């Protein structure tokens, strides 16, 4: 989609530190990490928010979850623990309107989030 930062990362127009890529998804390091491990996992398909995911996207959503598990294991934060976050719309502080999972770990995280 035009003018979407994450679509431009998918196309290679904007560089990113890619950690994983397949035909449906990519994962890359967050530009402004909030934890020692802070990875963004995104579908290649442009969905502005998690609310745009439809019945046909069920498999894709599961794929993003399993990709997060794989990366958590690769980064060695599976046993210590990690958080998977999807911010949706204004109150959650969503700033990039291309669906993304934040995979965060490597430090203790308080609950509830601020």
Q: Which residues are catalytic?
A: 100
Q: CB under 5 to 8 A by kind: which of ligand 5GP, Zn ion, none does 96 bind? A: ligand 5GP
CA distances from 81 to 23, 24, 31, 52, 107 (A): 28, 26, 22, 29, 9
Q: CB under 5 to 8 A by kind: which of ligand 5GP, Zn ion, none does 1 bind? A: Zn ion
The 37-43 sheet, strands edge to edge: 18-21, 25-29, 37-43, 101-105, 82-85
> Under rule CB under 5 A, which residues in 45-74 are in contact with Zn ion?
46
Query: Taking the complex as a whole, how short is the minimal distance between the CB of residue 66 and ligand 5GP, in angstroms?
Result: 20
Query: Taking the complex as a whole, how short is the minimal distance between the CB of residue 94 and ligand 5GP, in angstroms?
Result: 4
Helix (H) or strand (E) holding 106: none
């Amino acid at each position: 989609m035009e003018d979407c930062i994450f679509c431009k990362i998918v196309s290679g127009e904007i560089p990113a530190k890619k950690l994983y890529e397949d035909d449906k998804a990519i994962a890359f390091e967050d530009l402004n990490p909030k934890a020692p491990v802070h990875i963004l996992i995104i579908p290649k398909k442009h969905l502005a928010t998690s609310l745009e995911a439809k019945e046909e996207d069920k498999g894709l959503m599961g794929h993003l979850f399993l990709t997060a598990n794989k990366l958590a294991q690769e980064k060695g934060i599976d046993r210590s623990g990690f958080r998977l976050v999807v911010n949706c719309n204004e109150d959650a502080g969503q700033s990039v309107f291309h669906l993304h999972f934040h995979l965060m770990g490597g430090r203790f995280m308080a609950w509830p989030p601020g």
